[in-house]
Chain A
Amino acid sequence: MEQERRSTVAPERAHAPHVARADDAISAAMDRYALGDQAAFAIVYDGLAARLLGFIRHRIRDSAVAEEILQQTFLQLHANRGHYVTGLDVVPWAFAIARHLVIDTLRKGDREVLVETDEPVSQAPHPDEALALRQSAAELRRRIHELPELQRSAFELVRLQGLTLAQAAQSLGTTVTAVKLRLHRATETLRLDPRDTDEQRMEPPQGGSR
């Protein structure tokens, strides 16, 4: 049964076998932890912490709050170790918990702000180009934040955090088809040049609709 479950996930991860192996190692460690092997949780932490923190930081600017949410996520994984079913993927479960906690925190405190990046753009040959890159990156981040929640979650999980479509679907409690659709819509929205959109809005309606 366990092999059967794994085999349903493996083909979708074929493009990144090292990621699939890492995720399987996390799940195996979680299984040992569910059975009482205390040391195995460190492996789960090491496999997930950076990815989860990146996901959380994309929505929560305050480092202390983001770290608190990360801690809560791991505490929930720990508290629910008895529920863990052998062979099931831990990664989407962890992201589902983190997302739930992030949304809960935002509802309570309205802490969502645009994340400012500290990424250097020194590779740009010219200061004007560096400025343009920085501005376009900021614009992209702003537009990701403006996406509807369902589209945004799908986009963040798949495009930014590298989850497979199946993992993202599990994390969001929906189907792979729904994730594909949300992803497509999000990508289309982000692809549109806002100036084009404004021009389209300014154009008088074609045809007979009033």
Chain B
Amino acid sequence: MSAGPDELRARILAAVSAAPAPTRDQHRVRAAAIYAAAAVAMAALFLLAGGVSHSEGRPAWVTGGIVAGEAVIALVVTWMALGRGRSMAGRALWIRVMTATAAPVAVFANLVAWSGSYVEPYARAGLRCMMFTTALASVMLLAITLVRRRTDATHPSAFGSAVGAVSAVWAGLGVDAWCPLTNPGHALVGHALPVVIVALAGMLVGRRFLSFATK
């Protein structure tokens, strides 16, 4: 049975009034609290794993350069993935896909660029770095998902994938400060591959949690 326009209007406005929704200021406070909690959790994990002292075998200026490069990558991919551009519906599909695919390449290039500039203290395949990156990234992915839950109406899987890549790049900021190795094999397995893994996980998260729900 179709309702009249006035009846429909009254019904929908009543339903809207009855459903609580945070204002912009309330949303910002909530988002800041979630991101702060995530940063504290990631910092705690980083310190538990040994912190910066774990990379003592590498010159401090190299560590600083790698972390600075990773920070630039993190800021750029965050802007690309989470920024809305000129649309409330979010970035275009190609930007999201490019974010998810370019992030691991950029992370790999940033590390390998420093390879050979110092003598590596030991050799590792990169499994510990992979697990550490994935663990830190999971915290960040959870935080972004909580903030942007049920907000994407265009390409939630691609959005989730980009969010996953962003999470892994921010996690990589800590792992790069922790790990003293930059050789290509290690950089690929321990630092670039987890970005791909978390981006793929983000794709599933996006479809399930970032997409608009009908009910």
Residue positions of A touching B, CB distance < 8 A: 5, 8-9, 34-36, 38, 41-42, 45-46, 49-50, 63-64, 67, 70-72, 74-76, 78-85, 88-90, 92-93, 96-97, 99-101, 104-105, 108, 169-175
In the complex, residue of chain B having the shortest beta-carbon distance to the beta carbon of A69? B214
- The docked-state distance in angstroms from the alpha carbon of A59 to that of B88 is 24
- The docked-state distance in angstroms from the alpha carbon of A84 to that of B91 is 14
B16 touches A89 (CB 8 A): no
- The docked-state distance in angstroms from the alpha carbon of A174 to that of B94 is 8
| Residues of A contacting B161 in the complex (Cβ-Cβ under 8 angstroms) | none
> Knowing A93-B87, A100-B153, A170-B89 touch, does A35 contact B212 (C-beta < 8 A)?
no
- The docked-state distance in angstroms from the alpha carbon of A200 to that of B154 is 37
- The docked-state distance in angstroms from the alpha carbon of A35 to that of B25 is 7
Q: Does B155 touch A at the CB level, under 8 Å? A: yes
- The docked-state distance in angstroms from the alpha carbon of A167 to that of B136 is 38
> Knowing A89-B87, A92-B87 touch, does A82 contact B93 (C-beta < 8 A)?
no
* Interface size, B (range): 35 or more
**B87 is contacted by which of A41, A45, A88 (Cβ under 8 Å)?**
A88
Q: Does B1 touch A at the CB level, under 8 Å? A: yes
> Knowing A5-B86, A88-B86, A173-B89 touch, does A74 contact B22 (C-beta < 8 A)?
no
B2 touches A83 (CB 8 A): no
Q: Does B84 touch A at the CB level, under 8 Å? A: yes
| Residues of A contacting B94 in the complex (Cβ-Cβ under 8 angstroms) | 174-175
With A35-B24, A169-B92, A173-B92 known, 13 other A-B pairs at CB within 8 A are: A5-B86, A45-B13, A49-B12, A64-B2, A67-B3, A70-B8, A81-B21, A82-B21, A93-B88, A93-B89, A97-B212, A173-B91, A175-B94
Chain B interface secondary structure, helix, strand, loop or mixed? loop
- The docked-state distance in angstroms from the alpha carbon of A108 to that of B214 is 11
**B19 is contacted by which of A78, A89, A171 (Cβ under 8 Å)?**
A78
Of B84, B89, B148, chain A has the most CB atoms within 10 Å of the CB of B89
Q: Does B128 touch A at the CB level, under 8 Å? A: no
Chain A interface secondary structure, helix, strand, loop or mixed? helix
A67 touches B89 (CB 8 A): no
Taking the closest CB of chain A, its distance from the CB of B117, in whole angstroms, is 41
| Residues of A contacting B3 in the complex (Cβ-Cβ under 8 angstroms) | 67
**B13 is contacted by which of A42, A67, A105, A174 (Cβ under 8 Å)?**
A42
A92 touches B88 (CB 8 A): yes
Q: Does B160 touch A at the CB level, under 8 Å? A: no
B16 touches A78 (CB 8 A): yes
- The docked-state distance in angstroms from the alpha carbon of A171 to that of B92 is 10
Q: Does B9 touch A at the CB level, under 8 Å? A: yes
| Residues of A contacting B87 in the complex (Cβ-Cβ under 8 angstroms) | 88-89, 92-93, 170, 173
Subset of 20 A-B contacts with CB under 8 Å? A9-B86, A34-B23, A34-B24, A45-B12, A63-B2, A64-B1, A70-B8, A74-B16, A82-B21, A82-B22, A82-B27, A83-B88, A83-B148, A85-B88, A100-B153, A104-B212, A170-B89, A173-B89, A173-B90, A175-B92
In the complex, residue of chain A having the shortest beta-carbon distance to the beta carbon of B30? A82
Q: Does B11 touch A at the CB level, under 8 Å? A: yes
| Residues of B contacting A97 in the complex (Cβ-Cβ under 8 angstroms) | 153, 212
| Residues of B contacting A101 in the complex (Cβ-Cβ under 8 angstroms) | 212, 214
> Knowing A82-B26, A90-B88, A104-B214 touch, does A71 contact B15 (C-beta < 8 A)?
yes
B21 touches A63 (CB 8 A): no
Q: Does B183 touch A at the CB level, under 8 Å? A: no
In the complex, residue of chain B having the shortest beta-carbon distance to the beta carbon of A98? B153
Taking the closest CB of chain B, its distance from the CB of A175, in whole angstroms, is 6
